[in-house]
Structure 1
Amino acid sequence: MPEPSSLDDQQLQLARSVILRGGVIAYPTEAVWGLGCDPWNLSAVTRILTLKNRPVEKGMILVASSVAQVHFLLDLLPEKLYQEALSHWPGPVTCLLPDVNKQIPDWVRGDHNTIAVRVSEHPVVKALCETTGMPLVSTSCNPAGQEPALNARQVVDYFGDQLDQIVPGALGGSQKPSHIIDIVSGKQLR
């Protein structure tokens, strides 16, 4: 896993400030660049959906730095499903978790009764989630129908100055975006 050598404390604190005030950032993940924001901020999520030309009904992924950041979703699951989710994390696997009490806003969950969650080991993703103290929206950095950005230059080509920050760093070692597994059915969806 690459080290976030280009992500210094000043850049990390800027990203924290941007996210907490409702901004949108681009950042490297395991395989592609992502767009991120505070999932509980409707304005920020709406900006990402607009930038991507993505329908809200599709839903988006939440990424976390640790299991503790998503315990509020996991604690409501039967033990078997809880353990199934833990068996995939940390790592490049996204689990569809039942959102039993609708704790995640509709604008992130979409038309689903589940929420897609990944506990990442990518150092930049972890640092962003840790410094903000919450899981973040994570969706590929590209307009609908285009290939996800693989470097900061592509991020700029896609979105120019429409983002509040491009967080520096390297992609992880994954060649494809995270697998998505429905932990209730056991089916791999991607």
Structure 2
Amino acid sequence: MVITKIYQPDQVDQAADELKKGELIAFPTETVYGLGADATNEQAVKRVYLAKGRPSDNPLIVTVSSVKMVEKYAIEISPAAHKLIKHFWPGPLTLIFKIKPESLPKAVTGGLKTAAFRMPANTVTRKLIELAGVPIVGPSANSSGKPSPTTAAHVFHDLEGRIAGIVDDGSTKVGVESTIIDLSTKVPTVLRPGAVTAEELENFLQEPVISDHHQVGAQEVPKAPGMKYKHYAPDAQVLMVKEALWPAALQWAAEQSEKIGVMAPTTVIKTGLPANCLPYDLGETIQTASHRLFAGLRNFDDQQKVNWILTAAYPETGLGTAYMNRLRKSSGNVFFTKNNPGN
């Protein structure tokens, strides 16, 4: 069994040395913690799939420390792409480009002629990549399908003994993964919503941007993570609760003979919950709710074991689109209803 070491930010050079040896290192970003391996080392990348239990046809994001790294692999970076890079990088935006033939291993691309690139805002991770001298793959550092990790402790819980180390830079700030926009198509297409919204991208580019949130078919290779397989799901059944249905949802919870997890806005928590309800405060805004979503789901997965989690639904606009994208997947798209709770 591998001993998983915790590296502090001032020990990032040691973590980079491990990456150079083909080892796996989890790293912090402003969104969630990622699981890094040398993106040019196919055997190291394959070990990422094994460590996570991730399907091998699910492509990986290539995490970089400079635009120069992207230029080494991308066939062309269009004027629109350069504009996005200048404004949004480093930050929570991932860009998909057509890449030079065989410039990256099939284990990274899923066999596609494209790859997704991101430059995170976290300076520690950019230093890690710079010291390693190569781009690194960066899927979320969790067991595949489970809620994404927003602290080093979450990573350690899922991957202890399976990876060489974790660079601990505290809790992440955004809490949901980056927006992914496909620039290999005629019309820019958002394949995964995040903190950078489709409306924001459209206004910035001054051209149409498609929002494509579909799940791909069984025989189709996804161009981005999160489009094919179950994601973000705790062991418990999550029930999404619309604002107007909180009284009915809490009444239903009170009638149960077991503990019920409640992830709700501060206003709901303050109204007082039934004695058998375990509260997790999502704060007062969609920003705090998005930041706390995965940590809350993990709380009821790892610490306070329950079979049901009532979780606040939000309007699907702005950041709410990204929040609900993750929540719909973690719940299997199940809403609480008065007549048929859990259906």
TM-score, normalising length: structure 2: 0.50
Question: Match of 1:140, SS?
Answer: coil
Opposite residue 37 of structure 2, the aligned amino acid is: C
Question: Aligned runs of 1:144-183 on 2, under 5 Å?
Answer: 144-183=144-183
CA distance in 2, matches of 1:144, 1:106: 19
Say whether the 8 Å CA contact 2:33–2:172 is kept in structure 1.
Answer: no
Deviations 1:48-97 (A, max 9, x none): 101111122111001111111222134x3164354355344221100111
CA distance in 2, matches of 1:37, 1:46: 9
Deviations 1:148-180 (A, max 9, x none): 112122111111222111112134432310000
Say whether the 8 Å CA contact 1:56–1:108 is kept in structure 2.
Answer: no
CA distance in 1, matches of 2:114, 2:105: 11
TM-score, normalising length: structure 1: 0.88
CA distance in 2, matches of 1:175, 1:22: 28
Shift in alpha-carbon separation, 1:84–1:189, aligned structure 2, 3 A? farther
Structure of greater relative contact order (alpha carbons < 8 Å, 6+ residues apart)? 1
Which residue number corresponds to residue 126 of structure 1? 126
Shift in alpha-carbon separation, 1:97–1:153, aligned structure 2, 3 A? same
Opposite residue 190 of structure 2, the aligned amino acid is: Q
Say whether the 8 Å CA contact 2:114–2:184 is kept in structure 1.
Answer: no
Shift in alpha-carbon separation, 1:123–1:172, aligned structure 2, 3 A? farther
Which consecutive segments of 4 or more residues in structure 1 shift more than 6 A?
Answer: none
Say whether the 8 Å CA contact 2:41–2:105 is kept in structure 1.
Answer: no
Residue 181 of structure 1, CA deviation: 0.2
Which residue number corresponds to residue 188 of structure 1? 190
Say whether the 8 Å CA contact 1:69–1:135 is kept in structure 2.
Answer: yes
Say whether the 8 Å CA contact 1:30–1:173 is kept in structure 2.
Answer: yes
Question: Aligned runs of 1:14-93 on 2, under 5 Å?
Answer: 14-74=14-74, 76-77=75-76, 79-80=78-79, 82-83=81-82, 86-87=85-86, 88-93=88-93
Deviations 1:14-53 (A, max 9, x none): 1111000010011111211110010122221111101111
Shift in alpha-carbon separation, 1:129–1:78, aligned structure 2, 3 A? closer
When the two chains are superposed, the root-mean-square deviation of aligned CA atoms in Å is 1.7
Percent identity, aligned pairs only, is 31
CA distance in 2, matches of 1:120, 1:12: 16
Larger Rg over CA atoms: 2
CA distance in 1, matches of 2:39, 2:105: 8
CA distance in 2, matches of 1:134, 1:107: 16
CA distance in 1, matches of 2:69, 2:63: 9
Question: Match of 1:69, SS?
Answer: helix
CA distance in 2, matches of 1:86, 1:12: 25
Residue 183 of structure 1, CA deviation: 1.0
